[in-house]
């Protein structure tokens, strides 16, 4: 039996703030009109949450880590 979308999200996130941020940012992009990174029509997926999760599962997106410059201490 295949896991439901909420179950898949819970398994992926598993308390990770970074993963939650990644999913939220990608869903926001999709809702604002960005195209999916795979053929979502062929896969018959319309839900932006599921599209974002599939993109993550396939390794199509990842969270970019901001480089933080260290300030010299006085």
Q: What is the pLDDT of residue 66?
A: 65
CB 5 within 8 A of CB 57: no
pTM: 0.73
Residue 26 in contact with residue 55, Cβ under 8 Å? yes
User: What is the tens place of the pLDDT at every residue in 21-65?
Assistant: 888 999 999 999 999 999 999 989 999 999 998 998 898 988 776
């Amino acid at each position: 039996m295949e896991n439901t979308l909420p179950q898949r999200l819970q398994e992926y996130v598993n308390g990770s703030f970074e993963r939650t941020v990644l999913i939220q940012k990608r869903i926001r992009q999709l809702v604002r009109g960005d195209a999916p990174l795979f053929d979502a029509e062929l896969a018959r997926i319309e839900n932006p949450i599921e599209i974002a999760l599939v993109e993550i599962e396939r390794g199509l997106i990842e969270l970019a880590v901001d480089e933080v410059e260290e300030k010299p201490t006085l």
